[in-house]
Structure 1
Amino acid sequence: MRILFLNPVGILGGAERALLDLMACLKQQDATLSLHLLAGTAGPLLDEARALGVDARLLPLPEHLSSLGDSALRGRGPLEALRFARRLAPAPGLLADHGRALRRDVAGLAPDLVHSNGIKTHLLSAATAGLPVKRVWHIHDFLGERPLVRRALRALSPLASAAIANSRAVGDDAREVLFRVPVHVVYNGVDTKHFSPGPSEGTRLDRLAELPVAPEGTLRVGLVATYARWKGQDVFIEAAASLARLHPTLPVRFFLVGAPLYRTPGSQFSEGELRKLIAARGLSGRVGLVPFQSHPAAVYRALDVFVHASTRREPFGLTIAEALACGRPAIVSRASGAAEALTDGVDALMTQPGDVHALVDALRTLLEDAALRERLGTAARRTAASRFSRERYARELLALYRSLVPGG
């Protein structure tokens, strides 16, 4: 079977790391598979895919299209909608040009199945209409919350042979948008051999954040995420400030690990904004910024507590699965897709999205109780190995592919 993966970008966000794990395991499960990748921007995704033996190529998505997205319209007024409409004006001509190039490449590769891994590539599926290929849309977002995207994908849905949702919540939402397209819920997977318990080097985080080495016995708490505004960096900082004020003797240092990876304007914090917020809360030297880490296993192991603080419902949250696989005690927003597979108080502590007070309470509970941290970390590893392994992930998707391509 020849499988072509389409990805809008070449950076390594959560959807891209999950894609790499999928391709690696597909190769292991069936050596006869021929895997190909087209990415819309340059970046490490292409290099890492090639290292797996995947035929990975750049099909440049014009900068204007790459930075275009309607996610910033959530909850915004008519002025923001007008600005977006002005930015949208050049898109049809650019889409037509890129669509012709995409159709040419897809026809040349002649895949049995195209696996689209992002909203922009779902939309570009229209360029492949009429080609003898099965199309699978991998849904990593709540389509119903995207005002323009949901209308466009509904119109294009007859092109999709199937859709994959990375959580039950995403699946329920996708079914409302895509009507007759069969939607299969498959949780993301991670490499539980790579993401595994191991030696903790907390001072490495201090160095990466350009902070003095913390005193012996300091506990380290971290949030690992892109700088998307809904990832909750501001909530994390507010919780750190509250904890420092209410419990000043707790020996703790906080870390924000990540960067503004994506090109959609208005949807992300800048590093400068976060540094100003840290300084305004009197946390300079107590909260550190660690640059984006393309291989974050060592970061998770260096944390005594992992925090997921997204302020709205999150489709999955790959960092949760990675941190749990590393045996880290975790505080997780209940609204994440990964939380569907977790039990509060057993393999993680749960909080409501955006609830600073609840996050402070959960942090204090974990920071003051080493035995609880140990118990949660052990259970977290067990849950990740059974529910979030990339072998299970690839096995379920390969079964779907074969159901669409008989004899594949």
Structure 2
Amino acid sequence: MAAQRLTVVQLIPALDSGGAERSTLEIARALVAAGHRAVVISAGGRLVRRLEAEGGEHITLPIGRKSPLALAQVMPLRHALAALKPDVVHARSRLPAWLARMAMRGLRPRPHFVTTVHGLNSPNAYSAVLTRGERVIVVSQTVRDHVQQHYPDLPQERVRLIPRGVDADEFPYGYRPDPAWREAFFAEFPHLAGAPLLTLPGRGTRLKGHAHALRLLAALHARGIDARLLLLGADEPARAGYVRELRQLAQTLGVADAMAITPPRSDVREVYAISDLILQLSTRPEAFGRTVLEALALCRPVLGYAHGGVGELLAELYPAGRVPTADEARLVERAAELLRLAPPIAPMTRYRLDKMQQATLAVYAEVVHG
């Protein structure tokens, strides 16, 4: 790719938080480092500042708002693409992909179109747009199997399996936060100190299994295991009612004084590093399990349900952390075992961020140069 400076436009609904959003920034960073132009079009969000600080560009368009008014963004998007003259348009979500296909009609030169399937979307005509790329990137074998099953007409030579990766510099093996950070954290959450800490990272949505984690905490207390629980990132402004529901459940279970719910935080690495167990209890299969990789990269044990991308990663990297989906009795048993004596965790040699970045840039080169 060094012979030609490319302009790559990534499309995503917003840049607030989430795995797809982080992947967007990681690829933008790799493009800039390789001497290319990296542009992201989204509705904006807290990650825009980081994108721009790392050399990327951002154009604000509400291309992820699911309503009949979304079609009004076709022309603004077309004008933006006509001005940018991108070599590649990379859509990471369904609605942006639809808008991009409409916006690119008749553009000369026409950008190459790449898509990434980040999730296990309901199989239907709307979701099928993510299989229309010249190359279709899937983030796990779980997603590849899902796409193959539901879209059998997609030629497999267009599919590229590129798992998400972890930055070894950001999540170094055996990392421990400095004493000042620990002191500040436990000053903020004094009731979490002095006992094993379980952390469930994830957005404030019922599918993340927060209620399962609260019941797990109560069951451990009933066994005499004085654990604590942190629901990291669940307290979001749009999810206030759900958070109230979780606090009420904690009160009913008698564990309200042994848990905390936080907004999304920037010190995830430090929180993982002081946790005795990272939980991944999504009640539906997830496409991937980035938090599994991040925790294991830090040498922290993970306990999760054995389905989807999380189950796939645990089976390969930490089988002791797998339990049957929604089997809360087994979940308690395994949590107690891991808190007592967790199997050792070897340094990770796969799922490295630089490999993911290299593979994605290779896809761009493939569609541009043939």
Same fold (TM > 0.5): yes
1:24 Cα offset (Å): 2.0
Output the TM-score relative to the length of structure 2: 0.88
Question: Within 2, Cα distance between the matches of 1:158 and 1:235?
Answer: 34
Q: Counterpart of 2:191 in structure 1: which amino acid?
A: P
Q: C-alpha root-mean-square deviation of aligned residues, in Å?
A: 2.4
- Give the TM-score of the pair, scaled to structure 1: 0.80
Give the match for residue 125 of structure 1: 100
Deviation sequence 1:129-176 (CA, Å, 0-9, x none): 333011111111113x25xxx21243x468521211111111122234
**Are positions 1:390 and 2:369 aligned together?**
no
TM superposition shift of 1:214: 2.5
Q: Which residue of 1 aligns with 2:3?
A: none
- Taking a change above 3 Å as real, the CA distance of residues 207 and 226 of structure 1, as seen in their structure-2 partners, is farther
Map residues 134-283 of structure 1 onto 2, 5 A cutoff: 134-143=112-121, 145=122, 150-154=124-128, 156=129, 159-178=132-151, 179-180=153-154, 182-196=158-172, 197-200=174-177, 205-208=185-188, 210-212=189-191, 214-215=193-194, 218-245=195-222, 247-248=223-224, 250-259=225-234, 270-283=242-255
Matches within 5 A, 1:209-358: 210-212=189-191, 214-215=193-194, 218-245=195-222, 247-248=223-224, 250-259=225-234, 270-343=242-315, 346=318, 348-358=320-330
Gap change, CA 1:134 and 1:187, over 3 Å in 2 = same
Question: Given residue 107 of structure 1, which amino acid in structure 2 is its aligned partner?
Answer: A
SS of the aligned residue for 2:95 comes to helix
- Structure 2 counterpart of 1:394, one-letter code: Q
User: Could you tell me which residue of structure 2 aligns to residue 15 of structure 1?
Assistant: 20
Q: What letter matches 1:214 in structure 2?
A: A
Work out the CA distance in 1 between the residues paired with 2:215 and 2:130. Answer: 42
- For residue 47 of structure 2, give the secondary structure of its aligned residue in structure 1: helix
Q: Which runs of 5+ in 1 are unaligned?
A: 69-90
Unmatched 5+ residue regions in structure 2? 1-5
The residue type paired with residue 364 of structure 2 is: Y
Distance of aligned partners of 1:204 and 1:234 in 2 relative to their CA distance in 1, 3 Å threshold: farther
Secondary structure (helix, strand or coil) at the match of 2:191 reads coil
Write the letter of the residue equivalent to 1:212. H
Sequence identity, in percent? 25
Q: Which amino acid aligns with 2:133?
A: A
2:39 pairs with 36, 59, 63, which one? 36
- Determine if contact 2:235/2:261 at 8 Å carries over to the other structure: no
Distance in 1, Cα, partners of 2:296 & 2:37: 32
C-alpha distance 52-293 of structure 1, shift in aligned 2 (>3 A): same
Size of the aligned set, in residue pairs, is 355
Question: Contact 1:341/1:387 (CA < 8 Å) preserved in 2?
Answer: no
1:108 aligns with 2:111: no
Does the 8 A contact of 1:12 with 1:45 survive in 2? yes
Task: Tell me the CA shift for residue 276 of structure 1.
Answer: 0.8
Inter-partner Cα distance in structure 2 for 1:205 and 1:323: 19
- Contact 1:129/1:159 (8 A) holds in 2: no
- Aligned with 2:59: secondary structure? strand
1:203 Cα offset (Å): 5.7
Q: Is the 8 A contact 1:309 1:333 kept in 2?
A: yes
**SS of the residue 2:257 aligns to:** coil
Q: Is the 8 A contact 1:174 1:183 kept in 2?
A: no
Q: Which amino acid aligns with 2:120?
A: F
**How big is the shift at 1:177?**
4.2
Deviations 1:242-275 (A, max 9, x none): 1111x12x23211111136597x9xx97211111
Q: What is residue 76 of structure 1 aligned with on the other side?
A: none
Quote the offset at 1:303 in angstroms: 0.5
Query: Equivalent residue for 2:74?
Result: 99
